[in-house]
Each structure stands twice: as C-alpha cells, then as structure tokens.
Chains A and B, each alone.
Chain A
C-alpha cells in the first residue's frame, strides 16, 4: 500500500487549484485523473473568462489550464493520468486503477491523510423521439469535438438550452465554422447572460424561447428536428410545429454533480436543484461530513470554473493548515480572502440562488 498525504481525485480546475495551493505550502500531493491530460473542462474553454481581474478574469480557460499545470509541476504535485478512482474506503483509503507506462493496468490502494473529491459533473440528457440517433449529443461533447479534437459535429446544428453553456457553445460552433440554425429554450426567458446571447444574436442565430424539441428525424443520423411552442405549463402547443433541417442536435440542459465516490464514503448529501440535484455537503473548509474528505468544484454544486478554482484554493489551504504546513492565523487570513471573492462571484441575479443554496449547505453541515 502506498502512503500519500493528500490524494485529489479529479484534475480539473478545482482539483488542480487545491493541489497547487496545498503543495506550495509543502504538502505532498497526488492528483489522479482519468483523462490523458489534466485540466478537466478548461481545455475546451477557449473563451475569455468572466470574474475579477485580480484573479485571472479575461484570460481564456485553456490558458488558465496551462498556468495551473505549470504551477502544479513547479510545486512537485504528482499526477497519475489515465487512472481512475474506483472507490474510497473507510479510514481514507483510495483504490485507484492506475495505467502504467506500458499501458498495463494496476490496482493501487493509497492510504491518504486527506482526500479531495473533485470529480465534477456530467451533462443532463433530454429524451425525445429520435434522441438516440447519431448526431444528437451533449453540448459539452460538441465543445470537446470542436475545441479539443477539431472535428465539426455537424454543419447545421440545433442547440437545445439557452443557459450559458448553450450560448457559449453556440458561439464556439460558429467560430469553428458550423451554422447554428437556432437555440431553443423551454422557459419564457433566456437562461444565460445577456452578453452571451447578444453575441450569437449579432451573428444571426435566432433564440426561440417557450419552445421545445418534439422529435429528431433521420434514417441513419439526424436529418431534421421538429420543434414547437410550449404553453405556460410547459406543454407543447399543437399546430405550432416547425421543421428545421439539421445534421446535429446539441443538448445543453444543465449538469449533474458526480457524487458517487462521496456517497460511497457516506458523505451526507442534500437535494438542491439550484446546484444540480443531490450534492454532498461541506463546511467552510470544503470538508465533508466525514473528517478528512474534502469536496471541491462542481461535485458540491454545479457552478463555474471561477468558483471551482476558489473552492479548490479553500480546500488546499485548509488541508495545509490541518497538516500543520501553515499556521492557524495565516490560514484564517487566506481563507477569509477566498470567501470574500467567492461571495462576490455569487452575487447578482445570476448568482443569488447559488449563494442561498451554498449557505444552506454550510448551515446544514453544522447541524
């Protein structure tokens, strides 16, 4: 059995920032990631990030990933790629299926002092007639295709969902050279930021609010989509059907936290729809109801890369403190600043609901 001070499961923005923050204080950190490269979803975020200028706002996600990986290397963070955490067991043992240099696999059991779960979230599906046809995919999948693999998922695309993911991926599909024939949204209003919507409207993409998809039609793959209006009870209105000729349908219907590992370790969860559904709860140090198990990023509630980075820093600082690499006083100061930034990121009409839900998590963790 291998011993490590800290094992971080997931090398996305939150996991990497937790790793950097803990390692730069002297903590021994191992990051386990199932992909061929760490960085999580940052590598497909080719747009400039919102947020505070003091903390990487205005920088593209891909560049933030490169910076984080450099920092991780500088502070001696060990990274196992192509390796999957298959379980977390009592007394902080992590079972990792590790891929070795010769591509063979080996099961490693790691005894950790602290474990950070940074597993992120997965895309929600929407089921409709014909939804299993090739060409129907998650918006995140389409984003990976264009921005990481440089393959167009289609030439004429329909986007389902007008949240920030739907709007941003629409814009990036246009940048990649596809035509987006429209964005449909079941709600009467656009979900994401006005500036993101304005960008694609300027580019000539219509946004159909109070609309849903009824059917995808095609012999071997998607050839057309049938959309229709919905009433105020979200029910389709007959006679409003419209046929759009498309070869791909991308779905941006929100994300769901990947909480399996946290549940395996009996971390107490709470149902918070504003954060994507069931989420494991945590205290102000991002520590779960199981001492020594920390949760950061989308696994504790779907938000944005900005908040994920800050949550990672919080956990990294708290861990360095718990392992006595920094003093209580220093940690308190650093954490206070991070919380101020987190609270700011969760203000305004788009953040309020998440702020309330997050406060709810902190309160229920104390009980």
Chain B
C-alpha cells in the first residue's frame, strides 16, 4: 500500500478500498468521506453517526464502512474521529465551487470570509479557498471544523489548509 510508504492515501487507494462515495451520490449533496483504511482498534465514528451510516461492528478493528445512502452529510463525525480522518465534501454548492469541511486543530483559527491556501493530502497548495464556516462547538471537544469553498475539480484532492501564521498584533 502506498500509504505505508508515503504516509498519505491516494484517491485510487480510497476508491479501491471501497471507502469513496460514488459520483452519483456526490451529485445529490454533502457526504462524509472516511479516509481510514487500516484495521486499527477504534470506533468513535460509528457511535457519532445518528443515522447509522458508518458501520464498524465487532471487532472494533474492522474498517469503517460508510453507507452513502444513509449519510445525510451532517458532518457530526468529523470532530469525533481521533485520527482526524473524516471529511465532508459538498459537490453541489454552486456551479463552479464545492465545499470541503475538515478538522483543524491549530491556532490561530481561520476567519470566516478570508482567503486561504487549500492543500492536498501531501500538504501541497493546490488552489485557494474561501473560508465559509468555522465551527468549534463544545461537543467537538477542541477539534474545530473548518469549511472552505474551492473550485469543484479540486474536491477529491483538497483536504485542508496551510497553517496560518500568528499575526503580530495578537502577540
């Protein structure tokens, strides 16, 4: 597996591991993507989903399987994943843009409306993005979830933003 060599998954690996939603489902609205392809003992995502869309079962080392028909794209699982491996993609946001939501445990947090650099799984900047939402609910337990709008064609690729520098004013 490429992951064990490089440290990140390719879309190909995700599609092969049957973890990736179909284009048909993407066209219906927001959906979670669980990028967790190794058998590790962990199941908080299964419990987090109120719609029973993520299945692990017993033993807890089973790989999480997302039922794309049950997932309504609420994004509650994102902050619950200890591995920070769940993302929410909305390919129906507008004609040219889509949304990607991801966990972001760094300070400072991005500001809604600001323009940020969107990065792929390898940490490379692949486009710019606009911050749509920054959620940091108490139930997220200090794992804020950031949503950015990016060009549609980058939605399978972008998984975060470049970390922001602390501004001199805040020091």
Using a CB–CB distance below 8 Å, which chain A residues touch chain B? 47-53, 57-60, 162, 174-175, 177, 188-190, 193-205, 207, 209, 306, 344-351
Contact of A201 among B8, B48, B141 (CB under 8 A): B8
Interface residues of B in 80-100 (CB under 8 A from A): 80, 82-85
Q: A50-B42, A201-B121 are in contact. Are A58 and B82 (CB under 8 A)?
A: yes
B residues bordering A, Cβ < 8 Å? 3-9, 35-44, 46-48, 58-61, 80, 82-85, 105-107, 119, 121-124, 141-143, 159-160, 162-163, 166
Contact A190:B44 (CB < 8 A) given known A49-B82, A50-B83:
no
Show 29 residue pairs from A and B whose CB-CB distance is below 8 angstroms, ordered by the A residue. A47-B82, A48-B44, A51-B60, A52-B43, A53-B43, A53-B46, A53-B47, A57-B43, A57-B44, A58-B44, A58-B80, A60-B142, A174-B106, A190-B7, A193-B38, A193-B83, A194-B9, A194-B37, A195-B83, A197-B7, A198-B8, A198-B35, A199-B84, A201-B122, A203-B163, A204-B119, A205-B123, A207-B6, A348-B61
Determine how close the nearest CB of chain B comes to the CB of A14; give it in whole angstroms.
Answer: 17
Query: Residue B41 contacts which of A51, A58, A194 (CB distance < 8 angstroms)?
Result: A51
* Number of A-B residue pairs with CB-CB distance less than 8 Å in the complex they form: 131
Shortest Cβ distance from B32 into chain A, in angstroms?
A: 15
Query: Once the chains are docked, how many angstroms separate the CA of A160 from the CA of B121?
Result: 22
Q: Which residues of B contact A162 (CB under 8 A)?
A: 7
- Pair A350/B44 contact, Cβ less than 8 Å: no
Contacting residues, chain A, for B44 (C-beta < 8 A) = 48, 53, 57-58
In the complex, A244→B112 CA distance in Å?
37
B166: chain A residues within 8 A (beta carbon): 177
Known contacts A58-B80, A59-B141; 14 additional CB pairs below 8 A are: A48-B141, A52-B60, A57-B44, A175-B105, A198-B85, A199-B84, A201-B6, A202-B8, A202-B160, A203-B163, A204-B162, A344-B60, A345-B60, A348-B59
Instruction: Name which residue of chain A comes closest to B82, CB basis.
Output: A48
Bound-complex Cα distance A187 to B89 (A): 35
Contacts of A200 in B (CB 8 A): 7
If the complex has contacts A57-B82, A198-B121, are A50 and B163 also in contact, measured as CB distance less than 8 A?
no
B43: shortest Cβ distance to chain A, in Å? Answer: 6
A58's closest neighbor in chain B, by CB? B44
